[in-house]
Structure 1
Amino acid sequence: MKLPVSTEWLLHCASSLAQLEPGGTASAAQFAQYFDLPAAYLAKQLQALVRAGVLAATTGPRGGFRLARPAAEITLLEIVEAVDGASSPYECREIRQQGRGAVPAELCRAPCVLAVKMAEAHEAWRRSLAATTLADIIAALPDSIPARTRLRLTGQE
């Protein structure tokens, strides 16, 4: 499975916001500079997290994006689904019943074993992301990283 590059961007942006002081904000321009990303496209992608209730947006001179909930309540799955949706990347088209190698229909009453295994793998991936919060990610960082992020992203500590 290959996710769009914007998934990585939003995972890092949300993780960076989780490193700020509670209620801390960062603008799309700050993120774009911090990660060397295109600001206009990043701003559009960040709106997906606002629509999903992961981030909140504020306007004004100190405006920007902030976490909509505590980091311990935001899962990686929520972020990924905000960008990519929840559907499985694998779609079985029943090619086992096509062409010269077509298996007779009476032997295809059960779901395709490959489709079953791919669905199991997708669910395991989803469970893993659902079990990991932004707080878990921040807890796994070296102790010096959150202060460094606060300083370099927003110019505040």
Structure 2
Amino acid sequence: MKLSDGVEQAMHSVAMLASLAEDQVLSAAALAEFHGVSQSYLLKHLQAMSRTGILGTVPGPKGGYRLARPPDEISLLDVVLAVEGGEPAFRCKEIRRNGPNPVADSFFTAPCQISAAMLRAERSYRSELRKVTIAHLLAEVQRDDDGTLEARSCAFLDANVRIIGRSGTK
């Protein structure tokens, strides 16, 4: 199975937003710059995550994005489904019914064995992604970091974070 580049970009953006305080946001431009990706492509995925309740938005020229839920309540599956949609990766077209020498429909009453196997694999894949939260990933990164990654992120955040006030942005 191949996931779009948007999934990776979305996961890294959510991880970065997890480090913000409640009154802070980051713009799509800042997130795109930090990750070295296309702002317009990333924006599409940030908007999808906003629609699904992963991200919150503050509108306006001084607005931006922040998490709508705590990092321990956002799973990798949540992000994948927001970006890729909820359809299974494998969609059986029942091609076993095609071709020459057709057989009776009674041979096709049970689901295709290939489709059944692929759907079992999809359930396992989703189950594993559901177990991993953004908080879990951040704890792993922090455990393995010698301070270099944290310093890089902090310097960027210091220069790009936007503070929002009670009645809007500052």
1:45 and 2:78 matched: no
Comparing 38-47 with 146-155, greater Cα deviation is found at 146-155
Partner of 1:2: 2
Q: How does 1:15-94 map to 2 (within 5 A)?
A: 15-18=15-18, 20-23=19-22, 24-59=24-59, 63-94=63-94
TM-superposed CA distance for 1:53, in Å, is 0.7
TM-superposed CA distance for 1:109, in Å, is 1.8
Matched letter for residue 22 of structure 1: A
Structure with greater proportional strand content: 2
Comparing 114-123 with 95-104, greater Cα deviation is found at 95-104
Given the two structures, how large is their TM-score scaled by the length of structure 1? 0.86
1:148 and 2:147 matched: no
Gaps of 5+ in 2: 162-170
TM-superposed CA distance for 1:131, in Å, is 1.2
Matched letter for residue 37 of structure 1: V
**Residue 90 of structure 2 contacts residue 118 of structure 2 at CA under 8 Å; is this kept in 1?**
yes
Matched letter for residue 154 of structure 2: R
**Residue 96 of structure 1 contacts residue 102 of structure 1 at CA under 8 Å; is this kept in 2?**
no
Comparing 136-145 with 50-59, greater Cα deviation is found at 136-145
Number of corresponding residues = 156
Comparing 118-127 with 135-144, greater Cα deviation is found at 135-144
Sequence identity, in percent?
37
Partner of 2:116: 116
In the alignment, the residues of structure 1 paired with residue 83 and residue 11 of structure 2 have an alpha-carbon distance, to the nearest angstrom, of 10
TM-superposed CA distance for 1:102, in Å, is 5.0
Change beyond 3 A, Cα 1:154–1:122: farther
TM-superposed CA distance for 1:156, in Å, is 7.5
TM-superposed CA distance for 1:108, in Å, is 2.3
